[in-house]
Amino acid sequence: MNGFTSSFVQVRGSIPFIWEQVVDLTYKPKFEIVRPEEAPRVAERHFLDLRKKYGSILAVNLVNKHGGEGRLSEKFENAMHRVIGDDVRYLHFDFHKICGHVHFEHLSILYDQIVDFLEKNGYLLLNEKGEKMKEQTGVVRTNCIDCLDRTNVTQSMIGRRMLEIQLRRIGVFGAEETISSHPNFDESYKILWANHGDEISIQYSGTPALKGDFVRFGQRSIQGILNDGWNSLARYYLNNFSDGTKQDSIDLLQGHYIVSVSRERTPPSQTGGLESVANFPVALALVLIGFYLALMSLRQVRYDLRHLLFSVVWASLSVALGAFVKANGRIFCKRPRLNKPRS
């Protein structure tokens, strides 16, 4: 625009050491750190790679301070002690504690903490001759757990602030002008970022991004919260009963699993033991049938006390089966088969 070309780069990435969540039918599977003693070395290698590519790095960690996320966050912070230096900074911002589920305007608190880094490291600016007038010398690396929802909202805020600075620099905006001053431009910016977040989320989780109503419209809405609830349920289903096949596809395409013509034709998904017969829909149907029969027997107690015993037996069988499924949730999930995760 106006003969100038400008850009600003941000980076998103997972917590940079080896950890996993193995699906087990719970809504949020337990976080497990793999080879925790290697975490500092893995983080150090990762940030060395980032420094080579981008220059200075500001790592913004958005995860919670408590629960499973808190344990990962603490490990991340400890690992960063070996990495922090003149060109690497680390900042924890507890997104859920500070912003909750609706007060995303509180991200201005985060911006105030990182504005010095953004001003120092700048953005790329070329004039009409293609000559470099300004260079971006560092990036903000943002993470939450899966780098989708909280990361989208935060990067949208940073991108908006930096775009306003760029537009002022090339003379499109006045000194006090903002994107919000132009309703059509403001709407286009929000839609662009919301669609961007949705595409990344669909590729990774199978659903559009959560909190997308704030990015798209600038505020939380009842409809947006309801959509988040529906998408969360869809993610739960996909995580437990669909993503195993997706992971196998990724492993196959990336060469992590090599097909050999000398191998037997038996598919690698054929496993022994209970896992070969475990079927969650069947187990759920049996539990529901058991409770239904218990209820029907209970209604007959007034005619024959023996039905009380039948009711207790059916209810006990349903509870026992439900407890078994819960205790052995991993074998009822559709996990990757080509590279089988740890049990």
**Where along the chain do its domains lie?**
5-174, 244-332
- For 244, the token pair is 């195993």
**Is 226:213 a contact under the CB 8 Å cutoff?**
no
First to last CA, the chain: 55
**Is 309:316 a contact under the CB 8 Å cutoff?**
no
Alpha carbons 215 and 197: distance in angstroms, whole number: 9
What CATH architecture is 5-174? Alpha-Beta Complex (3.90)
Would you state the pLDDT for residue 212? 84
For helices 183-205 and 222-241, what crossing angle results, to 10°? 20
pLDDT classification of 167: cutoffs 50, 70, 90: very high
Please return the burial class of 310, using the count of CB atoms within 10 Å of its CB with bins 0-12, 13-18 and 19+. Answer: middle
Alpha carbons 324 and 7: distance in angstroms, whole number: 55
- For 101, the token pair is 């589920």
Amino acid at 68: G
- For 296, the token pair is 């029907």
If one counts every other C-beta atom within 10 angstroms of the C-beta of residue 267, the result is 9
Average the pLDDT over 141-169 and give the result: 94
Report CA-CA distances (Å) from 140 to 8, 90, 117, 164: 10, 10, 9, 17
Q: Is the pLDDT of residue 179 over 50?
A: yes
> 7-65 pLDDT, tens per residue?
999 999 999 999 988 899 998 899 898 998 998 999 999 999 999 999 999 999 999 99
